[in-house]
Structure 1
Amino acid sequence: MSGLYTHSGHGLVADLQRSATSCGAAQTPFLCHFSPALLPFSPPLATASGAVMQSLAQRSLHTGRTLMNTITAAAQRPRHHAMEIATLVAHILLGGLGIALALGALVLFLASPAHAAGDTTVAMPAAAAGQGTLLLRAADGSTHAVPVLDTEVDIRVSGPLARARVVQTFRNPGEAWQEGIYVFPLPDNAAVDRMRLRIGERIVEGEIREREEARATFEQARERGQRAALVEQERPNLFTTSVANIPPGAEVKVEIEYQQTLDYQIIDGSGRYSLRFPMVVGPRYIPGDALTGEDRGRTRGTDQVADAGRISPPVLHPSAGLINPVRLRVELDAGVPVAALDSPYHAIRSSAPTPSRRVVELAAGATPANRDFVLTWTLAAGQAPRVALFVERGEKLDHALLMLVPPQLPAGERPLPRDVVFIIDTSGSMEGTSIVQAREALALALRRLGPQDRFNVIEFNSITSALYDGVRDATPERIEQATRWVRSLQARGGTEMAPALSAALDRGEDPARVRQVIFLTDGAVGNEEALFRLIEERLGDARLFTVGIGSAPNSHFMRKAAAAGRGTFTYIGNVDEVQARMSELFARLETPLLKGIEIRWPEGTEADQWPRKLPDLYAGEPLVVAVALKKADGEVQVSGWGREVRWQSAVDLRQANTGSGLGALWARQRIDALMDSLRAGAAEDEVRQEVIAVALAHRLTSRYTSLVAVDRTPVRPADSALQGGAMPTNLPHGWEHEAVFGQLPMGATDARLNLLLGTLALLACALLWALQRRRPQAAAAL
């Protein structure tokens, strides 16, 4: 859950602490500088709450005076009354605790909700409900309408490749000219290479430019009253579409196209493909101290996540209903007969023109954008391809995509003993169905441990705690103890991942044992790069396996963390999938590891291969490589080592299938590798220039390049104001709004601790005032 809040509870705590300090210095009652204006309430409520707190304060002062008088009198009695003095001291402590709890409870009761980054109140008035008008409430209390959005998705699948077209329609139901800024997710390996602005029958093709130049072009068009669109990449799986000058009662369409490769595995001898289309951005935890300034009127960045405002769109409260409908269609050509088709999270209707083809649509026609769409298909028995080779021939370079699945290697007689550390995310964003899935998955994983294994369990939210202080033997008694502990875990607080990862990875190497870290989380964080760096620095000889939990996990973080940890990524979106997915994961973990993978391209061929450093593999998982060649001709040799068994295979480039968009996939992998080099200390200026060169050549969005389209004809009159801005998104399915955003901040700093300290400061201020009032009386008595 997020560590930044638009309605700052931190400010309230700071004001309380300053008030206590000021009052102590002035030797006046502790409400001397405490004004109802400090509370984020409506004026009548603030006035009433101020009166209540003043009354409570007066009572606490009276109690303090009484206790001080009593203890002074008791101190003057004979020493045999020492027990009475001790009793009075205990009463003082209990009284102080009672006052602190009362003050804290009053503040908790009266404080308005402190929302996480991007959580902005959105209302739909009854008078406007028929038009579907959404009103966004600004920090100053004013409201303005925002455009209404719906999305159409058309995906064409050919073997392991998918080409998608996403059409975002921005409608202006109001009477003012509007601007829309929409933050949305795409697959983490999507190569976005085309954007068009459609205005009625007119189409404006988007141009790829350096990011600063593209934004300057867009802002200039916006000021001139021209319709314009801008698509920017915030993360590899997170994008922003900005649309300027939408006329009253009109609509503007933005079309985005991308290419991607699909996940593929061989499970029990059958090939299974998986297509995932993310629909919603989950609120992300933003650690660090807030920076000065605002980012386009949204949440401030921090010293750890400078662009926090750009990845934190407003979130609609579930009580207001669901928005942003999505219509989706998939045309599937598997190349071989399809045995089974499944959509685990959405009802679908499908047709089968041929045994190898399927046409899939949502059964309801449209669905709210509040959870990821997943489509899986299993190939007919005996039809699982172990080699897929595609080539796209060009004028100067050929591009190829090689997907090769190694065979099942013979397992050793006895598996190597393992040290397994489980990390479970118990932050506020996991509240609801996510924590249930995580607990069930972890309980199942514990039962899969063997007697030769050792284990530990670490949970984290705002703090990190472990079941044991180190790995312990997986005895039946300890597994039962750990299972009970796991089932008692509750979701709360922030998402401080770094201490948990450090604790799990900070272990000595033992060549006689296999070290595995299983990380169950929704990945709802904004400081991904810092976490990737930590994993690479501390990994040692361990392997990190990520398990994505919930309806909208941060797949970029999950997949990249697994890659940095030389492991794999598994996604569980439903409690019903826990058994199957965790069993598949552990079956892979228990199979021999393929190391030392090498590819030898035809002799004399210049090959620019990505990734250059090939990962270790588990049986049933494919090796996927994108390459640029002078000429795709000859034989490719692939080899690797299992448990004392050498595996090798050969592929003839001349027998490849024809593919399209492979250059974009190669360029996307190269850009990812270049960006990863920053964590290894590469100079950013050099990386930036290389990324820009590749992205411009292949028309790709990246951190440094964006797509912009401008309709040259001005349409908005100069005297007409432009309204709108950041558009709201739904809360992901299964998430609990109060657990994510809370009633008080639960971010990078522990606001409840601050509140307690502030309250105790108020109490101390009151007692000090009472003590100082008592001193003159005591002096007079002497």
Structure 2
Amino acid sequence: MRMPQCKIPRPGAIISQDSPERRATIMKRPLLTGMLIFMALAFAASMARADGILVPGHWPPPRDVIVEPLPAFAIKYHHVKVDIEGQLAKTHIDQVFINQVNREIEGTYLFPIPEGAAIKDFKMWMNNEPIPGKVLDKDEARRIYEAIVRQRKDPGLLEYVDRGLFRASVFPIPANGEQRIEIEYTEMLTKNNNTVPYTYPLNTERFSSKPINDVTISVNIHSKIPIKTVYSPTHTVSVRRPDNNTAAISYEEANTRPNIDFSIYYSLSEDDIGLSLLTWKPKGEDGYFMFLAAPPAEVQEKEVAAKDVVFVFDRTGSMSGEKIEQAREALKFSLRNLNAKDRFNVVTFNETPEPLFDKLQPATKANIDKALEMAGALTAMGGTNIDEALTKSAPMLTDKSRPSFILFMTDGLPTVGVTDVDQILADVQKAMPKFVRVFVFGVGYDVNTFLLDKMAGNHNGVTEYVRPGEDLEVKVSGLYRKISYPILANLEIDWGAMRPYDIFPGKLPDLFKGSQIILAGRFKGSGTAKVKLTGEAEGKKESFLLTQNLSDTMPLNDFIPTLWAQRKINFLLAEIRLKGHNKELVDEVIRLSKQFGIITEYTSFLVEEPGMMMSDRFERKATEAFARSAAPKMKRESGGSAVNQSVNLASGQSATKASIGVQGYYDENGSMVSISQVRQAGDRVFFQQGRMWVENTYNEKMKTIKIKAFSEAQFQLLARDPSLGKCMSVGEEVIIMVNGQAVQIGAEGQDTL
């Protein structure tokens, strides 16, 4: 049955859907015994917040109620569809709630309204009638938020005390039945220079007592001005670009508890290469920035640079079986996707390298057919001579006016010829022209990660590891698809008046069709900066200019310091792992990890060892723990632990990824370990220490004011500074720094200020 639409009027107005049947239904409601909510809400840990809350009972409750505990409504699915035209965003939310008790009950639907948004449609059908709703202003909403928090003894809603609220009563909800609710709001997005952010408040689902079966967000953007960069700093998303003026972003996850708001940024530019600069400057500190560059989604053939590529593929005995079959198909895919102006060669190796041609050949049909025939006949046998395979392949690439690549794939350790890692690296460094990029594929766990990571790093490439159970063909074809259309090579940036430092990654990758680069760094400059990106296309220099006031920023940019710290920490860890222990670098890793709340496999002791974060001897304890737990692990060169360490570090340093939303790492078995003991409230960081959530700048020697949780004192403090609501929502027991003073909110403390 099609649900009717109820238009939502201005805040404070009531939507009336009065009828004799509805009045009769209301009169027949069961006694409040089944509806009431103090204990029900105490059990309602699984209700969603901000993106739609369905609370058992009538809210606010009448006085002198009989309290009966009721389980919360479970959430079956949560679907979000966003349409953005230019800067006007329309967000449609579709949720299904499940009544988990054996009788019909009443519920109250609450929707905290995002700042600057307007509710447009509310869809719900009960007893063949549309359900009315009411938009409450901030003062009315605040009273409801605080009342719920007081009665539920759960601070989660305090984050939204400064927002308006939409409310609707829902009755009856059938026994063990479902209730579908849809709501839609619009907002005009703010553009910062040429960059537009969009945020959906998804983080409230983190309090769910049960994972949600199905969470999906789809965002469709259309703009008259061409769209350039599209990315999410919070979630791993899929981005599809049908044309220069359209972008489709999707995020989906099953059986999950979302714990961070969903954000995307997109830039609009008429330039061939779109440049964006986002800044964040804390008071009294140097600034943080994120710089992005992206080519258009649609590229004419004449705009694609002709490239030279040599495929160097391992065909040793260890590649037999499924691996050699996948290698054949991966090589065939790459050959079939060569461009008409490209040149190529194929070198297979075991004890000795065997090139298909004596030099690079044009990508004609005849040459590609010959290479395909060879690929189909690949067999696996013999030992692994990595040194000779690469030193014989490198001299084939001689034309520095063309983007030049080696795609190197191996599944083993060097066993024939030169086997010393340092000597192999030195030999390859000597033979390889400086302009050549080396992309490395390590297959399985029997590879030397130090050798492969250093080789890719020395030659401006990346390492991709294909772990057991992963598809080699998919990995190779995925990377080749990215690099098959070079747009701009040998990039350089003139930062003008920015005076930047600590930029990560330090080496700029090339720009390819469908790709983008994301840099994070610090800056000392002020005023207006002119940032110029220069690169080579078809051997000719091209430049692109961005002029921006460095003070132009927006509150949503507060994620940039964390992104920068994530990049720097992983860079430092990679340096320690590949070059050996360095106390100065270890100290910096520990300091940044605490300051920004970033936990890696090497620093997990920060949240695992009791009392670590609050100790006044934190630095000494952390240094000892690093030496005890992390240092031995870093020495492993091969095996599952070594491969997954490389995967973790590469992900944290990536020039093309920006997501900071999920903290976790792969362990030595390839299983994902999630970090749940760190929470962020804006740009403030809290670590879980037992039952208490502690702000990162606190230590146990500080004098602390104690306030009883959910007392008048807590709400007085919140009234003085509503921004503390985000910090209070982190947990029921929390230590917050307020103007340099430690304030502990917990089971004991003063009731009034």
- TM-score category of the 2 structures, normalised to the smaller one: 0.3 to 0.5
Structure with higher RCO (Cα < 8 A, 6+ apart): 1
- Which has the larger helix fraction? 1
Give the TM-score normalised by structure 2.
0.38
